[in-house]
Every structure is written in structure tokens, then in C-alpha cells.
Amino acid sequence: MTMMTGAQYIESLRKLNTRVYMFGEKIDNWVDHPMIRPSINCVAMTYVLARDPEYTDLMTATSHLTGRKINRFAHIHQDTEDLKKKVKMQRLLGQKTGSCFQRCVGMDAFNAVYSTTYEIDEKYGTHYHENFKKFLIYVQDQDLIVDGAMTDPKGDRGKAPHEQTDADLFVRIKEVREDGIVVRGAKCHQTGSVNSHWHIVMPTIAMGPDDKDYAVSFACPSDAEGVYMIYGRQSCDTRKLEENADMDLGNKNFGGQEALVVFDDVFVPNEYVFMAGEYDFAGMLVERFAGFHRQSYGGCKVGVGDVVIGAAALAAEYNGVEKASAVKDKLIEMTHLNETLYSCGIACSCEGCQTASGSYIIDLLLANVCKQNVTRFPYEIVRLAEDIAGGLMVTMPSEKDFQSDTPVGREGETIGEICHKFFAGNGTCSTEDRMRVLRFLENICLGSAAVGYRTESMHGAGSPQAQRIMIARQGNIQGKKKLAKKLAGILK
């Protein structure tokens, strides 16, 4: 099968019987729901660009399993060049959508599961790696979206999975059958889960012998029996439900998506099982997935950052302050911070190495440094963007006010005329364009798109402390002490 078009991808979602709930009700036509469709448009862009000759080198790759041309999001990294192209591809898509295009988690899951299953098989003589390769070939040939599902609800964070009062707070194997396993539990804030054809589930933490039932990895269709999703809401999300909403939406065509994915006694055939009780490899799988995903943020968040910087520069121009030295300096600082994030993403890619399976993994220390910076720099970029934009970004009247023909002024001016008069900018742009860029900044800094930028920069791919733990583990402090001792002439 050739790679799908964006339109074909959207139509493929209509063929699924995915169970989606929102605001306490089942959503039958979720593909066209105004709160969900922008996130689908984001994923569709990964198909659109893959078929654009201008972006072929970044967006596609040659499968090492079949030799066929595939979307890079379904590729297993074969060298450091692949790792770099991944980051560049993610920056491109961030620029094109200004939001989260949701496909990174699946790509990162593919690469983590690929190398980990190889090493499980080497130790235990299992067949997980072959299972996964067959599944991946199917995904590549059908050009499918697969959600990578790692984060469990966790319950009491001070207790291991087996110690929880409610055993379902971590996804677990409830029953082992001759032909497969039955799983129960849930995965939280799953990016793009509703828009995916399949899911790959992975353990969320390193585990011990008592957590054996929770050391599970598998694939299942989004519409498998027993799978359902409860859509996560976002700030300003109901604006999309307003009649004829346009200007007030900001980034109206694109957006992110998160959901709670519940596995209610889901049967998984053996051919889709990639780990089932090998608790000693749970930590490896988590560490590798987290590393790949932390690398990803050096691309996707940078692309969205490019858009934020551009919008802030536009706001400055429309406000008539683009030549002010203070504004120029703020834009320079935003650019500096953004390019520093990109440098980290590229650096951990360049320093990647080969795993036992033959695939390539990033430098884990630098990947964690990359994500640690992402937990900070986008917040400063947003702060500076809001500083440049001014308070009108969060105080302006609604789109309906700007369009209103209700008389209100002494000379019969309408509400709309009054709004256009008093919110005019520097005279070179229309009032509407000024309002559009401010609404766009509001949306991307504070509203629905914040899921794809500001707040997700903090918690996506692990919260800050998770990276600090990995940096401490991989920072080789003892080795650095030896360097210091030698130069200082300390003999012991």
C-alpha cells in the first residue's frame, strides 16, 4: 500500500468503532466534532508533508525491514543521520501546525520497544522481537497512526504497583491464556489516542519481582473490545462550540489532544504481546522511550516556538513598537532560547550510538538535558511574548462584539464600530488582523494550544524531576571527581 494522503487518513478514522466520551456523553461522530477535529488536522499534516516533494527527505525513510518507502514516523533509526532528521522533521511540523501533531509518541515507542524486545529475547529466548517486527511491518505498509501509551494513573505515588489499594491503577495482566493475555487498567493524558488506529502500551516505571503482572507491553486496535477513551478538556476549548467561531479561536485549524484510555479486560493475542512479566526489562523500556521522547521536544517545541516568536513580532509591528530596542532585545532572547533547545535536540542525536538490535539510540544524558531545558525555556519565551503583546491579549471583547451592529454610541455607532475604532493598531494593519494575532498568542500561550506548548513543555515526556534523576544517574560525578583529583595533585 502506498502512503496515505491527509484526506485518506481522516476517512480511515471514520471506519473505526472507537468509543469516545466527552462531557459525560458518548460522541458518535467524533471525527467531525469541533473540539476534536483541529487535532485530527494536525495529524493529517504528517501525511500531507510526507507526500510533498519539498519535504520527502525529512518526512520519509526507507524501511530497514522491507526496503519500502515509509513515513518517517514509522521508521526505526538506523544511524545518527536518522536521529537528526527526526528532530528536523518535528521542528518542521511544529512550524506548520503551531501545535502538537501527536505522532511522536508512537515513533518513540517503536524505537524503544524494538531494541528492548531484542534484548529480552536474547536473555529469555522469547519471541517478542519477531512479534514486534511483524506488527511494525503491518503499520508501515498500512501507513497507520499508533499511540504510544506509557503513563499510568499511579494512585499513591509512594507505593509500587502491587502495593496499590486499587490494583487497576497500573495496567496489568489480569489473565494469561494459551492464545494471549487479558489486560486491565488505564493510561492517562494520552496524546493523540483518539486519532490513532492502534496503541502500543508500555510499563511506566522500573519494576521488581512483585510487580511482574504489571511488566507488560502490547499492541491493540483503538476500537478493540474493552477499550474506551474519555476526552481531556483544555482551557478555552468550548469556544470551538460557539456558532460561527473564527477569530476568537486563535489557531483555529490545529490543536492538540489528550485522553484517558481505559483497558477494561481487553484480550491481546500472543502475536501482539511484546513483554509479559519480564520485570527486569521494564526499566530499560521506560528509560529508552523517555530518552527518545525527550529528544523529540528539541524539535516539536522549537517549531512551535518559531511560530510564537513570529506572532510576537507581528504583535509588536501592529502595536507600532517593532523598532523599540527593548522589543528587539526580547525577540533576540526568545530566539536564543529557542535555538538552544534545538541545539540540545541535535546534540543528543549526533552523539547517538547503536544498540544490540542494530538500531540507534540518542545520547540519554543529553536527551534529558534537552528536556530539562524544555521545562524552563518555553515558559520564558511565552512570558516575553505576552510582554510584547500587551494586556489586550487577555482583555479584548469577543468576536461577536466586533461584528455587532447594535447601536450604542451618541452618533449611532454600533458596538462593532466602537470596537474597531478603539482597538485599532498602527494604521498599517486592520483592527481584525491585530485582534487575530493577539487571539492566536492567547490560544498558544494560555488556551487550547498550550497543550502543545507551554504546559506540555513542563510535564510531557516526564516532569522536571524525572530528568534530574536521569541526569544524576548518567552525569558520572565520580568520573569528574577523578579528573579534578588528578589535576589538583590529590593522590587518594
Binding residues for FAD: 191
Rounded to whole angstroms, the Cα distance separating 373 from 351 reads 18
- In the chain, the N- to C-terminal Cα span, in Å, equals 65
Instruction: Give the other-Cβ count within 10 Å of 28's Cβ.
Output: 9
Given the residues 18, 46, 100, 128, select the one marked as catalytic: 100
Residue 225 annotated in active site:
no
Residue 188 annotated in active site:
no
Fill in the amino acid letter for 199: H
Given the residues 236, 300, 419, 429, select the one marked as catalytic: 300
Residue 278 annotated in active site:
no
Given the residues 129, 197, 293, 420, select the one marked as catalytic: 293
Given the residues 297, 342, 360, 453, select the one marked as catalytic: 297
Given the residues 287, 317, 442, 456, select the one marked as catalytic: 456
- Find out whether 63 and 3 touch, Cβ atoms under 8 Å: no
Instruction: Kindly provide the b/e burial profile for residues 319-358, where b requires at least 16 CB atoms within 10 angstroms of the residue's own CB.
Output: beebeeeebeebbeebeebbeebbebbbbbbeebeebebe
The binding site comprises: 191
What is the Cα Rg of the chain in Å?
Answer: 24
Residue 353 annotated in active site:
no
Residue 411 annotated in active site:
no
Residue position matching grid coordinates 460561527: 244
Rounded to whole angstroms, the Cα distance separating 110 from 359 reads 11
> What angle (nearest 5°) sits at the alpha carbon of residue 106, between those of residues 249 and 142?
100
Residue 293 annotated in active site:
yes
All three cell numbers of 309, joined, read 516568536
Fill in the amino acid letter for 408: V
Residue 116 annotated in active site:
no
Residue 350 annotated in active site:
no
**Backbone angle region of 242, left / alpha / beta, with phi > 0 → left and psi within -120 to 50 → alpha:** beta
Catalytically active residues are 100, 104, 191, 258, 293, 297, 300, 456
